[in-house]
Amino acid sequence: MPASPAAQVVARQELDLTLPTQPHAAAAFFAERYRAKPGHLTVFGREDWLAPIASGSNPSDAMAICPCSMGTAGAIAGGLADNLIERAADVMLKERRTLVLVPRETPLSAIHLENLLKLARAGAVILPPSPGFYAHPATVDDLVDFVVARVLDQLGVVHSLLPRWGEARVAPPTIERA
């Protein structure tokens, strides 16, 4: 799970969060922040070409790039592998494993759309962060949980972030009109 320099800038700007740059420090940071159990989280450096995820002989079950910049999407669509993120994504595609891309930008240019289409045709799942409203979200966290739940579903990770379509859900809020 390497983080790009752009991800570090975005985390600082949008979340007021400073991501550690060293893999061991990042692993400790995320394990503590998200209460990861021992062995459930491994962090690799962006240039760690010896990481298991860099090789098709040791492919991961699934991978998500969230958020995925259009620069990263373009590099992957072009078959580039200049860092571990791009190489791991390339491995996922060539090994026909699940690769989920959650595009960051909006609006999307024709070039962005062509790259995303190329990736979808290559087997990637393109999952825009578009929350559904059928569960009647009340907070921003509810909207985020909806998108995270969709990503986890694609990765095959069991979760209970929100009720599924058709399951019991909270009654919709009433709207008073003046």
Each domain of the chain, given as residue ranges in start order, spans: 1-43
Bridge partners of 125?
Answer: 100
C-alpha distances (whole Å) from 59 to each of 27, 121, 175 are 20, 20, 50
User: With contact defined as beta carbons under 8 Å apart, do 134 and 128 qualify?
Assistant: no
Q: What is the pLDDT of residues 27-36, one digit of tens each?
A: 888 888 888 8
127 alpha-carbon distance from chain centroid: 9
User: Among residues 46, 34, 67, 42, which one has the least CA distance to residue 2?
Assistant: 46
Q: What is the value of pTM for the model shown?
A: 0.86
Distance between CA atoms of residues 168 and 35, nearest Å: 29
Average pLDDT value for residue range 5-32? 88
Predicted confidence at residue 42, as pLDDT, reads: 87
Write down the residue that tokens 């989920």 correspond to. 100
User: With contact defined as beta carbons under 8 Å apart, do 102 and 146 qualify?
Assistant: no
Bridge partners of 65?
Answer: 101
Given a cut of 70, whether residue 7 has pLDDT beyond it is: yes
Predicted confidence at residue 156, as pLDDT, reads: 94
Average pLDDT value for residue range 77-93? 96
Phi, psi of 88 (to 5 degrees): -65, -40
**Pick from 15-29, 105-119, 124-138, 140-154: least confident:** 15-29
